[in-house]
Structure 1
Amino acid sequence: MTDHATDAFVVHRNLLFTVAYEMLGSAADAEDVLQETWLRWVKVDQEEVRDERAYLVRITTRQALNRLRSMKRRKEAYVGPWLPEPLLTTPDVAEDVELAESVSMALMLVLETLSPTERAVFVLREVFDVGYEEIAEAVGKTPAAVRQIAHRARQHVDARRPRAAVSASQTRAVLESFQRALDGRDLQGLLDVLAPDVVLLSDGGGVKQAALRPVAGAEKLVRFMLGGIGRTDSVLTTAPTVVNGSPGLVMSLDGEIDGVMALRVEGGRITGLYYVRNPEKLTRVGEETSLTLR
């Protein structure tokens, strides 16, 4: 019984992790949810399970919902902006446009504005195409209520998500211009690649120095970034990588990883920068994470 349960769990593990991560924005919490899912799964009578994938997704959703509600208190006490935990993803994630968009830092931040139930319903329906009846079982609502929640959540997200999809190659080109300007301390080069209304969110978690409020406006952001670099004797280096399915940067000081930067590109310029410095959110930076919608 446990061999069969183990095989089924391993087959769907990446899917379950992706579901939990998109609901929580935290890889560490997603791993905890998978552990809780496993403990419940091995107690299930396997002969009564008709659809192993659906059953496992249902358990994962319930555990993630419980954790999401408890995380609300942690986020309210968080020092400065709270950003999702960045993941250095495998190449296939970037190649799957739908998956890359669903785990992008920009969309994950939009999902933070939903209630726990709205987020669960949106993720399951819009990202993983789960049926309304299955979602209803997972979140403890009627199918009719789930339809209403899904409609409301979709409207909320559509009003706040990036206006147009940008290809990985376009984002990469913008990133390269930004990286050259940053490495060269090129003031005009940075202003050229940043949108006038660009916003920087930096997450130090109260452990590393970071702006406690969003930094808005290209000129203000450039002064903030170049001023910060100028105040340290350490050598800052940048390395391109893939963050949550999109081009990003790993920032290092004197050879030690200092943080991960993701960006939002619209109209050929950067409209959002997301810099995660909190060490607790950088524990997976040394490895690639596999995500999947199936």
Structure 2
Amino acid sequence: MNLQYGKFFKYPRKAFKHFLSVSYPLVIKIYPLPKVKSIPETIDKILDDDCSICRFGDGELLYIAEKRSLPFQRQDDRLRDYFIKILNSENPKILVGLPIGYYSLENLKPNSKRTWRAIISWTYPRVRGFLRKDKEYYNASMTRLYMDYDDTSHSEAWFRKVRSIWEEKDILLIEGEKSRLGVGNDLFKNSRSVKRVLGPAHNAFDQFDDLLNFAKEQYKKHLVLIAMGPTAKPLAYELALLGFQAIDIGNLDVEYEWFLQKAKSKVKIEGKYTSEAKGGRIVEDIINEEYENQIIKKFLNISTN
């Protein structure tokens, strides 16, 4: 789907997307979609059984199906192998999430609905071989609770439910360098404490081993929250195998910011990496003493100690 980039291909891209969207009913008839739980069911499972979760979006699925590099993560055979292993995991404590389009298109905004119809038509016939037919998947969109929905009346309750995962818990937050989850809002105000480990905003898998080795030496009673794009999946997986509860938290903070602002489109969040918004990958420095005091380690490049 190389037509997705560049202004020159704007109109051919729209035509191709329309064709894929129209093809959707035929595609899912030929290739029935996997079983995926709802967002509330996914959050309840995490709460009730202290499960970890690795969440896959359309980018990670294309990473597998086409061996394609993403804008913020180059192709890496080891990372791709991790994705395939995680998708087929049989560990009952490690949930594997597929995105909202694989669960239901109901209540999505018209453009989001068309986008998911096109994505599934293009990707699923080639990625289905990496999924298990007998496996029950969970909902990767448990962190995307506001922007893509037509009716957002559920959003406040869903945010309240997901925040209860860390109620009065000590958080170890592993995040990208400019992500700054919870800074400037009350996302983690109900936790007992927050410690932060920073990794690179781009190609974070280069630092995977250092991040994992550091995290696994921390106190296992910490709830580990990870916001580091594709690298979050193998980190959550390996830490869960070691006895941590690890949540691939992804875009939750950005979605929460948009919810608080009552934003109608994906706008840039000042001081935070906002990959899906125009100009959102250019991030301003901030002065925040509480945030700085929470940082216990940085792995920003090979030479960083």
Structure 1 and Structure 2 fold alike (TM over 0.5): no
- Higher-helix-fraction structure: 1
TM-score (norm 2): 0.23
The answer to which structure, 1 or 2, has the higher relative contact order (CA under 8 A, 6+ apart) is 1
